[in-house]
Amino acid sequence: MKIGIIGAGNIGGNLTRRLTALGHQVSVANSRGPHTLSALAEETGATPVTVEEAADGARVVVVTIPLKHIPDLPGGLFDKAADGVAVIDTGNYYPKERDGRIDAIEDGLPESRWTEQHIGHPVIKVFNGTYAQDLLDRPRPQGDPERIAVPVAGDDEAAKRVVRELVDELGFDTVDAGGIDDSWRQQPATPVYGLRAGVAEVTEALAAAPKERPAAHSF
């Protein structure tokens, strides 16, 4: 599958490693330009590209950059993507530590809905609560009792199906966490965030999420 990855840090770098190892054709971009990605390209066989090129022909695009930089992404990002492109959002809002105050999110807008509004495309929220290193260290085959499950939220059911299949291929179970209006249940400081557990426990943790934004995680 042709996959574009925007962001080549902890998550983007490790997804580039795993997805190329699985045989996917990966294009990867960062903010500084393709010439700064030669080591990752050499290691993985991925193609370093500009942000503007990352989605070209892609069936799946992963957006994995710090939330505060989302508004810097160029318009028309998905114009040349494959029809029905699934856009994965791994992002989290860290107001104190990284992103600064974002009023709409503080007022209750789900983080991924804010991202959708900026990039102009629906997203599938997944891996936002997964430790980057776990992408390398904890994939397990289907049925393995140690297999971790991750929540997947999004409004486009067809795109969600594509993403759930890809996550399964990456070695993780998935739990349907509903649409983006429900995706606050997997945001930072919720019970499921960072949880290493199987389908049953992840399902329970999603249900147990308190609606109020935890004070410790507000600006």
Ligand X SMILES: NC(=O)c1ccc[n+]([C@@H]2O[C@H](COP(=O)([O-])OP(=O)(O)OC[C@H]3O[C@@H](n4cnc5c(N)ncnc54)[C@H](OP(=O)(O)O)[C@@H]3O)[C@@H](O)[C@H]2O)c1
Residues in contact with ligand X by the rule CB under 6 A: 6-12, 29-32, 51, 64-67, 69, 72-73, 90-92, 127-128, 130-132
Q: Which is nearer to ligand X, 128 or 147 (CB)?
A: 128
State which H helix or E strand residue 103 sits in. helix 103-106
Q: Which is nearer to ligand X, 89 or 157 (CB)?
A: 89
End-to-end C-alpha distance for the chain, whole angstroms = 40
User: Tokens 């999004």 correspond to what residue?
Assistant: 154
Q: Which residue is nearest to ligand X (CB)?
A: 9
Q: Which is nearer to ligand X, 137 or 212 (CB)?
A: 137
Least distance from ligand X to the Cβ atom of residue 172, Å: 13
Least distance from ligand X to the Cβ atom of residue 36, Å: 6
Q: Which is nearer to ligand X, 72 or 106 (CB)?
A: 72
Residue type, 129: G
CB within 8 A of 29, min separation 6: which ones? 4, 5, 6, 7, 8, 37, 48, 49, 50, 51, 53, 54
Least distance from ligand X to the Cβ atom of residue 96, Å: 13
Q: What whole-number distance in Å separates Cα of residue 180 and Cα of residue 109?
A: 10
Least distance from ligand X to the Cβ atom of residue 9, Å: 2
Q: What is the DSSP secondary-structure string of 145-213?
A: TT--EEEEEES-HHHHHHHHHHHHHTT-EEEE--SGGGGGGGSTTSTTTT----HHHHHHHHHT--SSP
Least distance from ligand X to the Cβ atom of residue 143, Å: 25
